[in-house]
Structures are given as structure tokens and as C-alpha cells.
Amino acid sequence: MSKLTPQTEFAGPLGLLPTRPRPQSRGQLSLNPKLTLSVVLVLLIVFFTASQPNFLTFDNFLNIARLQAVPLILAVGMTMVVLTGGADLSVGSALALSGVIAGLLYVNGVPAPAVIMLAVLCGILLGLLNGLLIGALGMSFFVVTLGTLAGYRSLALVASDGASIQLGEAPLLLTIGDGSIGILPIPVMLAALVTVFGHLALSGTGWGRKIYAVGSNREAARLAGIRVNRVLVSVYVTSGLLAGLASVIQIGRLTTASPVVGTGIELQVIAAVLLGGTILSGGSGGLGGTVLAVLMLGVLQNGLTLSGTPDFWQGAITGAILIVAVFLDHLQRRRRGLAEN
Amino acid sequence: MIEVKEVAKTYPGTVALEDVSLRIAAGEVLALAGENGSGKSTLMKTLAGHIRPDAGEISIDGAPVRFQNPNESVAAGIGLVEQELAVARHLSVEENILLGALPRRRYLPGAVAWKQVRKRAREVMDELAIEVDPRATLDELPVNVQQLVAIASVLSRRPKLMLLDEATSSLSEDETDHLLRTVRTLSERGMSVIFISHRMREMRQVADRIVVLRDGRVSGESELSDVSDADVVGMLVGRELSEIYPQNVPARERIVLQVDEVTARNYIQNVSVTVREGEIVGLAGLVGSGRSTLAQTIFGAIRPTAGSIRLEGKTVLFRHPADALAAGIGFVGENRRVQGILPGRTVRENLTACSLGTFSRSGVLSRRAEQDQARQAASEMGVKYTNLEDPIGGLSGGNQQKVLLARSLMRGPKLMVLDEPTRGVDVGAKAEIYQHVVQAAANGMSFLIASSELPELLGLCDTIYVLSQGRVVGRLDGNQATEEQIAALAFHTDDATEVA
Ligand SMILES: Nc1ncnc2c1ncn2[C@@H]1O[C@H](COP(=O)(O)OP(=O)(O)OP(=O)(O)O)[C@@H](O)[C@H]1O
Ligand SMILES: [Mg+2]
């Protein structure tokens, strides 16, 4: 977006912004989200190390990584969606619904490998519904995914009768959700693999390029021969697919499929994407920042838990961080606006 | 009196302004000319407080000012009409005009006094002869009207110094004349103006004095009455420009594009156009005559409601611009910011946006091949840039336009559909672009060029179609047609079909 009037350009929300433009001659003073994040991450680690004796241990770090595997996988899909200028509010619900369906299939005797594939397929279908409504029918992403946020969750509750499904003996699922090869947890490796593939797709394929183009300027992308609708469908399908994959890890870890799992996780994931420097209006950003942000949120959560901060506070903290993220987004956009003039 | 003293501004890799000084007296109209990337817009943005200079000083009536932001510049009576159309696309005409200074109700704090808004907006609209519903949303209006609204918005503040950065580039000739007359009148009442344009005629029409920038420095300054057009071009380009329009090779017989009785929405009706191999065909007409609609229909961006389009003999129905690109048609739209530029992306990505397939294998891009192609395309078109990996926004307007031309030429299309291809491009670069077009045509590429610049059409085209109110009202031989002939046809209204 560019300037409308001088007023809108320099007046921040609630007058939060200084009315002075950043000194441009010193240009490089500008905010780099990845750098900021790294600094915050290091500060958090130093702080918790100093205050919590069992924070800086190898086991604790593996623990953090294990807990962040699911959010990270979801955040990879979310980054792609946000890059096109949208957001997928339904990821948490899709995670639960895929998990519940996988759980039901498993307890009814479907073999584990088939269950895994069907969970992923379920995620794809849930994403496809979002994608078709948004991409093909041109509906607002906000309306559609807000609707499916409620809808998918409700279906998960209906299918499971509101109760968690105990999977019982589930060796393969347990291995995927909680196993290790050597010292490396399998879910963490899966998340890392997804991230690497996501990064390669975004930076080195035509598809990735089109995602950025669509987010940058939809009409120009269309006139450059990019089929915007298909790109939109593809990112929501990817987001769904990854929710399906994450659901396998999720149910495997505790060998339980819960219909209320992942409630509110979309906020945490979107916060991570924005904190990572991907711009809410699309077209700019990437996975590098997202990974750092997920790590930072993970360290923060872990540190708070270790220091005995009640769980109830965590929502407030995630919320505050979301607002900070949007604020950073705004700052960055303003910088981009200035640089582009 | 406003004085700029030794202003300098450096961007990483570019010196945009160096030691620039100029003064404008009250009531004076100063023409500011220069090649693409010479620093004109940068100087305007400095005056308007959008950017801060690295060095130098601006003073108003002898008192030095240091703008920290655009508001301060506005408060000091400076109004800038930006080169890249800056309007609120979802707001109405009247809101746009009074944006930032909406009159308020006296006894209801915060409430907008809509009656007054309408009245004030009307006044400014009348002044600029804007004849649209003040409540229409900007989105629904053609670019020229949007541009006029942007000008009106600045004018409504009654600035002491008005800065017009290529504000006429998307206006029709009538609108330009009217605007320049209005500007002249206001300047006689004391308003100072800096007027930027790449057209000599306009500068002569409105300005007294000309200042020429080259590579960020003032390279010449003169009373306009003392210099010939050629002198000015010489100052601009730094060399003599012998001929702008190269000799055109006659077209071949084979028909490439046959548009047959095409109707689209209610903007064009029963339009038939033929383009042969290697032919350069022009589309003339007033703004709103349907040229852009026709161009977009051929490119598959608008679906025709009746009629047929044949490409090399085969009937085609494009459902998406991608189909047209695949069939060998290239396109550059009239509004580069909305239809062309991918803001925030690099120069490289902007160059290669529609050729991704040519350097990727099963979807995976070869960065090396992409860079090579981008670099080559940019240098062929003479794009002035520092680094392929810089954001496109750092390029001057004219250079962004060249990037878009290079982008669609990169695929080597059979037919190029260009809508106002040289908007915002300087004289020297225009000549280079014409050279390209004629060269490509000689090699068999066909062109369909919609343009409001009649000299351009006359100098370049083999055949010119004149459109009026969505219909073809004349087909002229480009070598024999005259501006008067085209103008007469373009103004023609109802009984026009007989002429064709
Ligand atoms: N935000 C920016 N970042 C980097 N470089 C910039 C930026 N803005 C302008 N420049 C550079 O400064 C130089 C002057 O640009 P400017 O836009 O003032 O040219 P101009 O005379 O207005 O050209 P045109 O006729 O094409 O509009 C160019 O080389 C341009 O690339
Ligand atoms: Mg400019």
C-alpha cells in the first residue's frame, strides 16, 4: 500500500508512532525483523538461564523443540497463506478434525499407515474447501476461514462426541509423535523437513514466485499471466495438508485424539508469521523469520512454565505478542512505503 | 519566494541529487525537465517533506525550513501531485478531494459536514472541469479522472507552491489544456508552480523558465523563449537527437490478428481490427473511447460478449491473460502501478514475472539463467538500475515503465499489445523504445499500440484505427494521416460509422 495522504502516512495507530520519519540518510538503521528476533531470542535465553537453573539443559531444549513441532508445521503453511495477502484462521480446527477422524479410523481397525495418509488427505480436503471458496468464488478469506474455524471444530466435536479418543497401543503413531532417531526427536525432524521444503518451494520454484507476486499486486500478477485463483487455492490446500500432517504428530504424541486440541493455536501461529517479518498484506517475508519467531515463542512459553507462571497468563502474553507483531508489521510497511517512493 | 540551496540526496548506489539549487518567485511557473532517473521526483519529494535531504537547505521567503514530515510541508503551503497516482481508491471523489481537511460540523464535534464537502469539492471540480458524480468511488473511474482528482485534492488546499510531477501524463489533450490554463490563472494570482513533464509542448504552454536536471545536477537553466526545442533536448540528453522515429519497414501480407465485430461490455461495440505480420498498428481516440478495453480484450483480460478474435487464422477465446501469453501475445497496460509493478519485489522478479517457465525445469527455477535473462533484458531496454536485487520502487518512474516493456518482450511474443507504452518515458528513452519497436517489427513482430500521443502514432504506425465511443470510426494509413484528420475523427460522434 502506498500513501493516501501525508496524514495517513505518518500518523500511527492510536498515535503510537513517532510523527517523524526515520532518518533516511542513516538508512540502515531500519528495522530488520530477523535481527530483532534473534536479539530477543538470545535475551530470553540469557534471562531464563539466569533465573531458572534447569532451563539451559539439553533435555529442556529437546522438549521445547518437540512442543514446537506442530506450531512450526502449521506456521509454514500459514506463512504461504499470509504471503498471498490472506490468513487461515481454521488451522487449529482442521488440526483437531483431521486428528479426530484419524483417531476414529484407527480405533476401528484401519492400519496405521493408511490412517496417516487419510489424515493428510482429510487436511487437504479441508484446505481445499477454504481454497475454493476464497480462490474460485472470490470470497473474503476472513469470512471463509472464520466460518470453517467454527465449522471444523464443531464437526470434530460431533464426530468424537465431545470426548477424547484413546488410541491404545499405537506403536507407529507413537513413534511419529514422540519417537527419536538417536537423540533427534522424529516430530522435530519432520517439522524441519517441512520447513526446508517450504523454504525451497518459496524461494526456488515458480510456484513460490507466484505466491509472492499475488500478494504483492494481484491485478499485475493476473496480467503477467499468473492464475491468481489457482495460487490462492494452492496455498490454502497446503495449509490444510500441513494441518493434516501435524494432526498425525499431535495424536501420536499422546496416543489420544482430542476434539479440543489446537484451540486458539491459529493466533499463536499467525503471531509467529507476523513476528517473523511476513507482511500481513502479503508479498513480502518468508520462512526464515517464521522459524525464529516460533522458536522464540517456544522458549518464552517454556521459560514461563518453568518459572511457575500460571497457564492462564499465557493467553495474555500471546495476545500481547500478536499486537507487537502487528505493530512491527506496520512499522515495516511504513518503511517499505518510504523506500518505494 | 522559494529557494532550494545545494540540496543533495544519496541512495545506496545512486546519487539522486547533488548540489541542486534553484529559486522560484511568487507567481512563477518553472518547468523542470530531465531524463528518467535524473532526480526530478526526488527533488519534489524533498520539497514536500516525503524525504529528507542529506545536505542543503530549503527556504521560504528567506526563512529556512526543515520539513520533518509531509504535514509540515503542507502547512507551509506546498502541495505535491505525485508521479505515481496516490489516491484512496475506495473512497469517493469528493472525499478524495478534501481528504485530510474534511470540513466539520460546527456543533457536533467530529461529524463531517457533508453539505460543505460537496460544495467545496464541486468548486474545485468545476475549476478543473471534472465532470463525474462526486460520490463515485475512485475505483470505478478511468485513470485520467483519478489523476484529475489527485490534482484537485492538492488544489483544494490552495497551496503557495504547487508541484506537478508528470501530472499530465495520463490526461487527455483537452484535460491537459484545461489544467494548464487553470494553473496559469492561479499563478497570475500568486501561486508558484514547478511543472514536470516529458512533453515540450506542455512546458512551453505553461512555463516561463526551464531548469534541466541531469544525473542529479542542474545541467541547464533558461528562459523558455530563448531556447528551441532542439536546444532543450540537447540539454536533457547531453547529445543531439537526430531522429526520433526510425524508418519503418513495410509490413508483410500474412495476417496475425483479426478482430472481428468484437463487443465487450458496453465499452466497445462491433470493433474490427486487422494486424499483419511485422505491422505496427495504432489505436487513436480520446480517453474513454475504448482503446484500453480493446487492448485488454485482445489480451484476454476482458471477455468479449460478442464477435471473434483470430490469431494466425485460428479462432481463439482466451479465458485468462495466461492463455494469451501462451498464444504469443505480450501486453503492457496503461497504468503501471496498478497493472504492472509488483511493489516490494526486486527488479529481477519484476522483469521475469511472466517468463518463469522459460528458466525452470518442472517448476524449479534456475537462478543463474533467470539472472542472465533479467540482466540482458534490462540492458537491451536501457533500464537504469543499480542492482537487480534492489526493490523495484527504487527505480524512477520511466525506468519502471521500461522494466514492464522488457518483461513482456522477454517471452518473444508474436504480437505486442501496448497501452500508452511511453507514458513517463523521457525523449531519449522514447527514441530508444521506438527503435526497438521498429527493429522488432522488421523481424516480424507485430504491434498494436494504443496511445494518446498522436505524434507517436503518426511517426511509428503503418496503420491507425481511430476509435470514438467504443466504435472504430476510421482506419488511416499511418504514412499519410495527419493530426487534424485523427482529431476530427476522434471527435466524431453518432453518424460516424459511415466514415469507416
Ligand atoms: N527510494 C529509492 N531508493 C533507491 N534509489 C532511489 C529511490 N528513489 C529514487 N532513487 C534513485 O534516484 C534517482 C533519481 O530518481 P527520480 O525518481 O528522482 O528520477 P526522475 O527524474 O523523477 O525520473 P522519471 O522521469 O523516470 O520519473 C534514480 O536513479 C533512482 O533510481
Ligand atoms: Mg519521476
CATH number of the domain bearing residue B112: 3.40.50.300
How much of chain A is helix, strand and coil, in % rounded to 5?
Answer: 75, 5, 25
> Do B207 and B275 belong together in one domain?
no
Report which protein residue has its CA nearest ligand 1's atom 31: B395
> Do B86 and B230 belong together in one domain?
yes
Q: For residues B54 and B447, is the Cβ–Cβ distance under 8 A?
A: no
Strand partners, A218: none
**How many angstroms separate the CA atoms of A101 and B370, rounded?**
45
For B392, the domain range is 255-490
Q: Which residue has the higher pLDDT, B492 or A94?
A: A94
Which residues in chain B have Cβ-Cβ distances shorter than 8 Å to A234?
A: none
Nearest CA in chain A to B97: A5
Residues 266-305 of B with CB under 8 A from A: 299, 301
pLDDT in tens, A253-312: 989 999 999 998 998 899 899 888 888 889 989 999 999 999 988 998 888 888 888 878
Q: Strand locations in B107-254, DSSP E?
A: 161-165, 192-196, 209-214, 217-223
| CB–CB contact B342 A213 (8 Å) | yes
> Do B176 and B301 belong together in one domain?
no
The answer to pTM > 0.90 is no
The residue behind cell 500513501 is A3
**How many angstroms separate the CA atoms of A328 and A316, rounded?**
18
Residue type, position A331, single letter? L
Q: How far is the CA of B15 from the centre of ligand 1 (A)?
A: 9
Lowest mean pLDDT among A56-65, A304-313, A323-332, B163-172: A323-332
**How many angstroms separate the CA atoms of B364 and B41, rounded?**
39
Over residues A310-334, mean pLDDT: 73
Minimum-distance ligand to the CA of B36? 1
**How many angstroms separate the CA atoms of A323 and A318, rounded?**
9
> Do B292 and B433 belong together in one domain?
yes
- Residue ranges of chain B with pLDDT lower than 70? 239-243, 492-500
- Within a 10 A sphere around the Cβ of B357, how many other Cβ atoms? 14
Q: For residues B134 and B118, is the Cβ–Cβ distance under 8 A?
A: yes
Can you give the pLDDT at residue A52? 85
CB burial class (10 A; 0-12, 13-18, 19+) of residue A254?
middle
A108 contacts chain B (CB < 8 A):
no
- How many separate domains does chain B show? 2
Give which of B6, B1, B11 is closest to B386, Cα–Cα.
Answer: B11
> Do B374 and B457 belong together in one domain?
yes
Residue type, position B22, single letter? L
Can you give the pLDDT at residue B481? 84
B396 CB within 6 A, ligand 1? yes
Nearest CA in chain A to B45: A341
Is A29 a residue whose pLDDT tops 50? no
> Do B40 and B137 belong together in one domain?
yes
Q: What percent of chain B stands above pLDDT 90?
A: 32
Q: Which residue has the higher pLDDT, A208 or B237?
A: A208
> Do B108 and B74 belong together in one domain?
yes
Domain stops at, among B207, B237, B267? B237
B135 in helix, strand or coil?
coil
- Within a 10 A sphere around the Cβ of B56, how many other Cβ atoms? 17
Can you give the pLDDT at residue B244? 74
- Those residues whose beta carbon sits under 5 angstroms from the ion ligand 2 are B 40-41, 83, 397
A339 CB within 6 A, ligand 1? yes
Can you give the pLDDT at residue A26? 32
Residue A338 Cα, gap to closest chain B Cα (Å):
8
**How many angstroms separate the CA atoms of A58 and B194, rounded?**
67
Task: With respect to residue B19, please indicate whether it lies within any of the assigned structural domains.
Answer: yes
Can you give the pLDDT at residue A10? 32
Q: For residues A81 and A234, is the Cβ–Cβ distance under 8 A?
A: no
Q: For residues B450 and B334, is the Cβ–Cβ distance under 8 A?
A: yes
**How many angstroms separate the CA atoms of A105 and B97, rounded?**
62
Q: For residues B194 and B17, is the Cβ–Cβ distance under 8 A?
A: no
**How many residues does this entry show for chain A?**
341
**How many angstroms separate the CA atoms of B484 and B36, rounded?**
31
Give which of A299, A6, A19 is closest to B76, Cα–Cα.
Answer: A6
> Do B261 and B228 belong together in one domain?
no
**How many angstroms separate the CA atoms of B345 and A213, rounded?**
8
Is A24 a residue whose pLDDT tops 70? no
**How many residues does this entry show for chain B?**
500
B88 Cβ partners below 8 Å, 6+ apart? Answer: A4, A5, B95, B96, B99, B138
Q: How far is the CA of B427 from the centre of ligand 2 (A)?
A: 14
> Do B203 and B310 belong together in one domain?
no
Can you give the pLDDT at residue B29? 92
Strand partners, B8: B55
Tell me the Cα Rg of chain A: 21
Residue A316, H or E segment: helix A312-340
Nearest CA in chain A to B391: A340
Which residues in chain B have Cβ-Cβ distances shorter than 8 Å to A231?
A: none
Which residues in chain A have Cβ-Cβ distances shorter than 8 Å to B390?
A: none
Task: With respect to residue B246, please indicate whether it lies within any of the assigned structural domains.
Answer: no
> Do B228 and B296 belong together in one domain?
no
pLDDT band of A2, cuts 50, 70, 90: very low
Residues 124-183 of B with CB under 8 A from A: 153
Report which protein residue has its CA nearest ligand 1's atom 8: B394
Q: What ipTM does this complex have?
A: 0.84
Can you give the pLDDT at residue A4? 35
pLDDT band of A38, cuts 50, 70, 90: confident
B435 Cβ partners below 8 Å, 6+ apart? Answer: B246
Task: With respect to residue B242, please indicate whether it lies within any of the assigned structural domains.
Answer: no
Can you give the pLDDT at residue A17? 33
Which residues in chain A have Cβ-Cβ distances shorter than 8 Å to B86?
A: 2-5
Can you give the pLDDT at residue A22? 34
Task: With respect to residue B224, please indicate whether it lies within any of the assigned structural domains.
Answer: yes
**How many angstroms separate the CA atoms of B121 and B118, rounded?**
5
Task: With respect to residue B248, please indicate whether it lies within any of the assigned structural domains.
Answer: no
B100 Cβ partners below 8 Å, 6+ apart? Answer: A5, A6, A7, B74
The 3-state secondary structure of B233-279 reads HHHHHCCCCCCCCCCCCCCCCCEEEEEEEEEECCCEEEEEEEEECCC
Would you state the torsion angle of the CA atoms of residues A107, A108, A113, A114, taken in this order, to the nearest 10 degrees? -140
Task: With respect to residue B377, please indicate whether it lies within any of the assigned structural domains.
Answer: yes
Is A20 a residue whose pLDDT tops 80? no
Minimum-distance ligand to the CA of B401? 1
pLDDT in tens, B296-321: 999 999 999 988 999 998 999 999 99
Residue A201 Cα, gap to closest chain B Cα (Å):
8
> Do B283 and B221 belong together in one domain?
no
Task: With respect to residue B83, please indicate whether it lies within any of the assigned structural domains.
Answer: yes
pLDDT in tens, B411-429: 889 999 999 998 888 888 8
Question: What is the Cα B423 distance to its own chain's centre?
Answer: 3
Can you give the pLDDT at residue B241? 62
Can you give the pLDDT at residue A43? 87
Looking at residue B8, what DSSP letter applies?
A: E
Question: What is the Cα B328 distance to its own chain's centre?
Answer: 25
A109 contacts chain B (CB < 8 A):
no
- Mean pLDDT value across chain B: 87
A230 contacts chain B (CB < 8 A):
no
CB burial class (10 A; 0-12, 13-18, 19+) of residue B190?
exposed
Can you give the pLDDT at residue B337? 86
| CB–CB contact A212 B349 (8 Å) | yes
Task: With respect to residue B247, please indicate whether it lies within any of the assigned structural domains.
Answer: no
B326 contacts chain A (CB < 8 A):
yes
Which of A24, A207, A219 lies nearest to residue B51, judging by beta carbons? A24
Hey, which of B9, B42, B219, B404 would you mutate to test ligand 1's pocket, going by the most ligand atoms within 8 Å of its Cβ? B42
**How many angstroms separate the CA atoms of A86 and A215, rounded?**
8
The ranges assigned to domains in chain A are 56-263+279-285
Can you give the pLDDT at residue A127? 97
- Mean pLDDT value across chain A: 85
- Distances in Å between the Cα of A173 and the Cα atoms of A106, A178, A255, B341, B411 are 10, 8, 7, 48, 50
